A and B are shown apart, each in its own frame.
Chain A
Amino acid sequence: MSIELREIDKHFGQYHALQKISLSIQPGELVALLGPSGSGKTSLLRIIAGLETLDEGTILFDQKEVVHLSAKERNIGFVFQHYALFNHMTVFDNVAYGLKVRPKKLRPSKKEIEDKVIELLSLVKLEHFAKRYPSQLSGGQRQRVALARALAVEPKVLLLDEPFGALDAKVRKDLRRWLRKLHNDYHITSIFVTHDQEEALDVADRIVIMNEGRIEQIGSPVEVYENPASPFVYDFLGNVNLFKGRLRKGELINGDFSFKVPGSNLDSEQETVGYVRPHDVAIEKEVRPNTVKATVLHIHPIGATIHIELHRPDTNDYLEAEITKEFFTQLAIEKGDTVYIHPKQLKVFVPEDFSI
C-alpha cells in the first residue's frame, strides 16, 4: 500500500510539533523516520496510525483519504517502543487478540485463529513460548511477540515506534537484521521511527530526516550520508569536524590554509563552516603545501579503524580522524607527535540568499 502525507500540521498547545509535512511512500518500502527527540517523528507516526489527530493536512492510503478513520479502521500494525504487550494474557492470547476482537461475522474460526497464531509464532521463533506470560520473556522476545501480534491482523502498513529502543546493543542488532529479512519476505509498507542513525542507515530503503517538526532531507542511506542537504543532517548522521572560516572566491580560508569549495564562486566574503567527516581527514607526517600542523592528543587503537584525536595550534580547534589499521601501521605515529593534516573532502553550506 502506498502512503501519501500532504501538508500535515500539528500543534500541542503552543508547541508547533509538525510543520507542513509532505511525504510519499511507495508500496513495499521500508522507510525510517530519523531525528533527535522532539523532532516530531513519533507524532508523525502516531498521526499516520490514527492514534493522534492532526490539525491540518491529508493522509492517503492507496490514494484514499483516511484522516476520518479511527485507528481500528485503518488496518495498520503498530509496534510500540516498550512493547505494550497485555501482561495478563499469554503470548498466544496476545497474538490472537486482534483476531478475537473482530465482529462475529469477520472473525475467523477458533481453529483458524490457532493456526494463524502458531504460524506467526514460528515466524518469530517463539512457538514454544505460546503459554508463557510476557513477564516471563526477555526484552527481545517481547518485542518479537509484539511484532507477531501486529502482523496477525494482516496490516497493510506496519508502523514501528523506536522498536529496538529499549533493548541492549546485541539484541538490537539481531532484531534489526531480522526486521530487514521479514520485510524482504513480506513486503509490507513499513515505517519505523528511530533516533539511532546507524540503525536507520543499516535497515531502511529510504530515510526521512526530521528536525524541529520539519523534514530536513529524504533519500536513500547512501544519498543522505554522502550528500547531506543541511548542516543538521551532516551533524546528525555521524561525527564531523568543523572548519570555521571565511569563504572567498570559491575558497574556504581557515586558519593557515585554504580549501577549494566546488560550486561556490562568490565575489563577496562571508563567514562559513566547512564540514569534514573524520575519515576524510588525511594525515601526513611531512609538511606539504596546503596542510596544517596538528598534534596527536590521543589514539584509540581498538578495531579495524583507528580513531585519532588531534589538536590544531593555529585555530585551537580539536579534530577527530579515522584511518585504517594498515595506514596507521604505515604512518607509525604516537601520542604527542606533530602531523600535517588536510581534508580530503569538505562540505560547505552556503546560505541560499548569497548563492547565485
Chain B
Amino acid sequence: MTENVLEQPHTLPKVKIDSPTSEPKWIRRSLITISVLFLSLFLLLPLVMIFMTAFQKGVDVYLASITNSEALSAIRLTFLVVLIVVPLNTLFGVLSAWLISKYHFKGKNILLTLIDLPFAVSPVIAGLIFVLLFGAQGLFGEWLLERDIFIIFALPGIILATLFVTVPFVARELIPLMQAQGQSEEEASHSLGANGFQTFMRITLPKIKWGLLYGVILCNARVIGEFGAVSVVSGHIRGLTNTMPLHIEVLYNEYQFTAAFAVASLMSLLALATIIAKNIIEWRTKEVSK
C-alpha cells in the first residue's frame, strides 16, 4: 500500500473527509428541515392565512372593508399618532443617547435602566398608569374634569400610552452605537471651532444615520401596532378613538372575519415593509463596514 503510493504520487485519494468545522450531511439536513418547518408553521403560515382570508370573498369586499368610514378613520387616527409619537421619541432617543455616550455623570446606570423599563412593563399596565394619572378617579382626574379636558378615552391618552411603550426604541439603538464610536471626532470638530449644533449635524449625524433610521423604523412599527396599552386608554369609541389594531379587534369580536383580516392584511403589508427596510439598512451597514 505504502509502496504503491510512492510509485504513483499523482493518484488522488477518492475518500472525501468531512470538514473539521462542520457536521455530517444528515445532521445538517435535519437541522435545516427542523428550522424551515418551525419557521413556516409558526411564522409563514399565519401570514399566508391573513392574506387568504382577507381576499376570501373577493376584491370588492376587501376594498369595501378597508375603505369604509370606520376603517378610514382608524387609519387616519393611527397615522396621526405615528406623526406625533415617532418624532418625539426620535428626539428623545438622539438627545438621551448623546447624553449617555458623551458625558460621565452620576446615576447614568439608573437612567439607562429607566429608559429600558417600558420594555419590561406589560402594555396593559402601561395603559393603566395613565388611567391612574388622568382618569376620572385618577390623581388629576377631578382637576381635568372641571376644566373639560379629556385625556383618557381620547387622543391625548392614546398618544401618552404609545409614547410610554415606545420610549426605548430609538435610544436603545443609538446608545451602544454612539458609545462604540467614541467622541474623538466630535472633540476634533470642536477644537476646529464648530459649535455643538454644527458638530452634531456634520459629524455625529452622518455616523449614526443608519442606526437612527433603524431605530425609527422599529419604533414606527410598534407605534402602529400597539394594542394593549391603547386598548386600556382609548375607550373604543368607534370612528373616534379606534386605532387600526382596535378596529381589527372590534370587527373580529363582531364575527366580521373577512373585514378584520382585510385590515389585518394592510397592517401585515406595513410589517413586511418594515422587515424589508430593516434588512436593507443592515445590508447597508455591513457594506459600509467592509
**Do B11 and A58 touch across chains, with their CB atoms under 8 A apart?**
yes
Contact A68 B11, CB 8 Å, known A58-B5, A63-B2: no
**Do A63 and B20 touch across chains, with their CB atoms under 8 A apart?**
no
Contact A72 B20, CB 8 Å, known A6-B9, A7-B10, A56-B12: yes
Q: Does A229 reach chain B (CB closer than 8 Å)?
A: no
Q: Does B287 reach chain A (CB closer than 8 Å)?
A: no
* Extra 16 A-B pairs, beta carbons < 8 Å, given A50-B20, A63-B2, A67-B15: A6-B10, A7-B9, A50-B17, A51-B20, A53-B16, A53-B17, A58-B5, A58-B13, A60-B6, A65-B2, A65-B5, A67-B13, A68-B15, A68-B17, A70-B18, A71-B20
**A70 and B21 alpha carbons, distance in the complex (Å):** 11
Which B residues touch A7, using CB under 8 A? 9-10
Q: A interface vs B, CB < 8 Å?
A: 6-7, 50-51, 53, 56-58, 60, 63-65, 67-72
Q: Mark B138-176, 1 if CB is under 8 A from A, else 0.
A: 000000000000000000000000000000000000000
**Do A70 and B2 touch across chains, with their CB atoms under 8 A apart?**
no
Which A residues touch B253, using CB under 8 A? none
Which A residues touch B113, using CB under 8 A? none
Question: Shortest beta-carbon distance, A223 to chain B, in Å?
Answer: 26
Question: Shortest beta-carbon distance, B12 to chain A, in Å?
Answer: 6
Question: Shortest beta-carbon distance, A75 to chain B, in Å?
Answer: 14
Which B residues touch A60, using CB under 8 A? 5-6
Question: Shortest beta-carbon distance, B87 to chain A, in Å?
Answer: 44
Minimum CB distance partner of B17 in chain A: A70
Q: Does B184 reach chain A (CB closer than 8 Å)?
A: no
Minimum CB distance partner of B9 in chain A: A6
**Do A65 and B13 touch across chains, with their CB atoms under 8 A apart?**
yes
Identify whether the interface residues of A are mostly helix, strand, loop, or mixed: mixed
Q: Does B19 reach chain A (CB closer than 8 Å)?
A: yes
**A315 and B2 alpha carbons, distance in the complex (Å):** 60
**Do A64 and B2 touch across chains, with their CB atoms under 8 A apart?**
yes
* Best-surrounded residue of A57, A58, A68, A69 (most CB of chain B within 10 A): A58
**Do B9 and A69 touch across chains, with their CB atoms under 8 A apart?**
no
**A56 and B8 alpha carbons, distance in the complex (Å):** 13
Size of chain B's interface in residues, with CB distance under 8 A?
Answer: 15
10 inter-chain pairs at a CB distance below 8 angstroms, sorted by A residue, are A6-B9, A6-B10, A7-B10, A51-B20, A53-B19, A58-B5, A58-B13, A64-B2, A67-B15, A70-B20
Which A residues touch B13, using CB under 8 A? 58, 65, 67-68
Which A residues touch B15, using CB under 8 A? 67-68
**A72 and B21 alpha carbons, distance in the complex (Å):** 11
By Cβ-Cβ distance, the 5 closest A-B pairs, closest first, are A68-B15, A6-B9, A71-B20, A65-B5, A67-B13
**Do A69 and B17 touch across chains, with their CB atoms under 8 A apart?**
yes
Question: Shortest beta-carbon distance, A1 to chain B, in Å?
Answer: 14
Residues 10-54 of B contacting A (Cβ, < 8 Å) = 10-13, 15-21
Which A residues touch B10, using CB under 8 A? 6-7, 56, 58
Which A residues touch B11, using CB under 8 A? 58
Which B residues touch A64, using CB under 8 A? 2
Q: Mark B84-114, 1 if CB is under 8 A from A, else 0.
A: 0000000000000000000000000000000
**Do B19 and A63 touch across chains, with their CB atoms under 8 A apart?**
no
**A63 and B2 alpha carbons, distance in the complex (Å):** 7
Minimum CB distance partner of A73 in chain B: B17
Minimum CB distance partner of A66 in chain B: B13
**A257 and B138 alpha carbons, distance in the complex (Å):** 102
**A58 and B1 alpha carbons, distance in the complex (Å):** 14
Which A residues touch B2, using CB under 8 A? 63-65
**A6 and B6 alpha carbons, distance in the complex (Å):** 10
Residues 169-215 of B contacting A (Cβ, < 8 Å) = none
**A53 and B20 alpha carbons, distance in the complex (Å):** 10
Which B residues touch A67, using CB under 8 A? 13, 15, 17
Question: Shortest beta-carbon distance, B51 to chain A, in Å?
Answer: 41
**A146 and B17 alpha carbons, distance in the complex (Å):** 26
**Do B17 and A58 touch across chains, with their CB atoms under 8 A apart?**
no
**Do B20 and A58 touch across chains, with their CB atoms under 8 A apart?**
no
Which A residues touch B20, using CB under 8 A? 50-51, 70-72
Question: Shortest beta-carbon distance, A9 to chain B, in Å?
Answer: 10
Question: Shortest beta-carbon distance, A96 to chain B, in Å?
Answer: 20
